[in-house]
Amino acid sequence: MKFSTIRRFIRYYRPHMKLFSLDMLCALVVSIIDLVYPSVAEKIIDSCEGLAAGTGTLTAEGILRTILLLGALLLVIYIVKMGCNMFIAYWGHVIGTRMQGHMRHDVFHHLQTLPLKYYDNTETGTIMSKVYNDLFDVSELAHHAPENFFLAGIMMIGSFVILVQKCWQLTLIIFLFVPIIVAFALFMRKRMHEAFSSCRKKTGEMNADVQNSVSGIRVTRAYTSRDHELDKFDRINGEFVAASSYRYKSMGQFHSGMTFLMDLLYLMALVGGGIFLYRGAITIGAFTAFLLYINSFLKPINMLVALFEQVQEGATGFERFLGLMDEPEEKDDPGAVAVDKVEGTIAFEHVSFDYRDQETIGDDKLLIHDLNIEIPAGKTVALVGPSGGGKTTLCHLIPRFYEISDGRILIDGQDIRSMTRDSLRANIGIVAQDVFLFNGTIRENIAYGNFNASQQEIEEAARRANIHDHIMSLPEGYDTNVGERGVRLSGGQKQRISIARAFLKNPPILILDEATSALDNATEMQIQASLEELGRGRTEIVVAHRLSTVKKADEIIVIDERGVAERGTHEELMEQDGIYAGLYRYQFREA
């Protein structure tokens, strides 16, 4: 882990410094208390031994009193330890959870500011995995790591100091073994890190697949493509199992290796200590204390081993979290100002754009190349042409969903880049073919147009969108839950809700992107009336393939793969007798 990563991690501790310090204090008390027991045992054994050998200073009664006194002292100490352990287990986890909550807040906030391009290239499941699984591991690391590191550190240093006093030669022999353990742990570290990373990645992919599959369940049913979905899932699931198995293999090697090294350490203490005892260099009490202290020396090593895993998981999770946090946000340009309600004149001046990297594709291959359009305030421009020509894209450039590479887009003569995004977007309403409703009530969904709207305003918007009567006929009225993505409503009803949203927002600029294309003719006719009312007095950009709806536009622009192919009023284009006239005649005959 890089230093800057650690620094960013530490930043999350700041609001919890008080609790965290107390947590550390408790860890300190626990680790010191754990060092007491072997010394007490040594004292008791040596006193009894002295009495038996006739070399002790205490009488039998004195020894008994000492034993009881020490026992009582230990009992008190252990009660304190219980309290400290409770604090560590409870508040330690609470600190972790609060930090996790803080990080989740940051990541969600960041997700709200990322450009749409990020979402075009990232699967939802992967994002979910970062927000949930990864951050859980991070929070576990956040409190366990410092607690255990502290506990282990104190115990190791403490037991070392005490062991040296008991028998420094034996202590040195044992401590010479520690570098071997550290070297082994470091060697395994890299392998485990890779294994954990790959496992995380696979979890993300698997989440993405399940999410995708569940969202597409209707398509799966309709096309009876269950086997295909199963195959796809089984492949990813298999890859996950393989990655996970490799992770457990590396964990297994690590664990068994570490345990073996520690067993060797025990063995050395036993044999070495035995020899020293045999030679009379140490007392039985010291020998026993030595063995017990080896335990308090091994315990922190064990803790560090567990910590190691946690650090691996947590660090991998935190790095993935940072990866997301470091995705560049959509930022307003320097000096951008918030605009109020605009008049609504829109101008495209020599605008170029493509989703692909423009360096690698030629200028003439750009999706939008050197485009000029002028729409006076309150007028309507219709975009028509074959699918894939870039009509939707063009609409999305106005609210700056994507950044143009050349030229300028002006609203009321002002470059949209000089406006804050929020204020720009507040001036634009979009009614598109795909209506997205959030899981929630009808009221909440309409209120997306204006969160400050009163119930009356919401109802007025619904009335103008011709959906009020229908809503009122539902048992729960405006409180009816629309279901995930609005599954409980028909296409026409969803579209009316989105129109009501636009009414409520009341923007000077309106984009209708194939708003009625997914609807049947009868529904389209009804909705068309609402849309006409919605468009009144606004600057409108209408994308439609049903030309009856664009006929009245002030200008019709025909866009094909090469860019603007024709432009003019309906009459002018019919006279030109080009693409538009052909399409119109075809549809007219069809009708």
Return d(Cα 118, Cα 111) in angstroms, integer. Answer: 9
For ligand ADP, the closer of residues 387 and 521 by Cβ is: 387
Interaction between residue 469 and ligand ADP (CB under 6 A): no
Which one, of 112, 63, 30, 551, lies nearest residue 324 by Cα?
112
Q: Which of 392, 418, 423, 450 binds ligand ADP (CB under 6 A)?
A: 392
Shortest distance, CB of residue 580 to ligand ADP, whole angstroms? 15
Count of residues of this chain found to bind ligand ADP when the rule CB under 6 A is applied: 10
Q: Which of 122, 197, 225, 393 binds ligand ADP (CB under 6 A)?
A: 393
Return d(Cα 421, Cα 475) in angstroms, integer. Answer: 40
For ligand ADP, the closer of residues 262 and 367 by Cβ is: 367
Shortest distance, CB of residue 402 to ligand ADP, whole angstroms? 8
**CB-side neighbour CA atoms (13 Å) of 474:** 17
For 280, phi then psi, to 5°, come to 80, 15
Interaction between residue 537 and ligand ADP (CB under 6 A): no
Interaction between residue 101 and ligand ADP (CB under 6 A): no
Per CB under 6 A, which region of 39-47, 124-132, 384-392, 497-505 contacts ligand ADP?
384-392
Return d(Cα 346, Cα 201) in angstroms, integer. Answer: 44
Q: Which of 199, 303, 351, 367 binds ligand ADP (CB under 6 A)?
A: 367
Which one, of 273, 285, 243, lies nearest residue 39 by Cα?
285
- Encode burial over 557-581: b for 16+ CB neighbours within 10 A, e otherwise: bbbeeebbbbbbebeebeeeeebbb
> Per-residue contact track with ligand ADP, 116 to 155, x per CB under 6 A?
----x-----------------------------------
Give the sign of the dihedral formed by CA 35, CA 36, CA 41, CA 42: positive
| Spatial contact of 344 and 412, defined as CB atoms under 8 Å apart | yes
Q: Which of 391, 421, 494, 567 binds ligand ADP (CB under 6 A)?
A: 391
Return d(Cα 147, Cα 232) in angstroms, integer. Answer: 43
Q: Which of 83, 388, 483, 582 binds ligand ADP (CB under 6 A)?
A: 388
How far is the CA of 445 from the CAs of 13, 79, 458, in angstroms? 38, 56, 10
Which token pair is 183? 């070297």
Q: Which of 224, 360, 387, 473 binds ligand ADP (CB under 6 A)?
A: 387
Interacting positions 241-280 with ligand ADP (CB under 6 A): none
For ligand ADP, the closer of residues 40 and 553 by Cβ is: 553
Per CB under 6 A, which region of 77-85, 345-353, 381-389, 504-512 contacts ligand ADP?
381-389
For ligand ADP, the closer of residues 315 and 519 by Cβ is: 519
Shortest distance, CB of residue 543 to ligand ADP, whole angstroms? 6
Interaction between residue 360 and ligand ADP (CB under 6 A): no
Interacting positions 336-355 with ligand ADP (CB under 6 A): 355
Return d(Cα 394, Cα 397) in angstroms, integer. Answer: 5
Interaction between residue 399 and ligand ADP (CB under 6 A): no
| Spatial contact of 497 and 465, defined as CB atoms under 8 Å apart | yes
Shortest distance, CB of residue 577 to ligand ADP, whole angstroms? 23
Which one, of 581, 563, 568, 540, lies nearest residue 389 by Cα?
563
User: Can you give the binding site for ligand ADP, defined by CB under 6 A?
Assistant: 120, 355, 367, 387-393
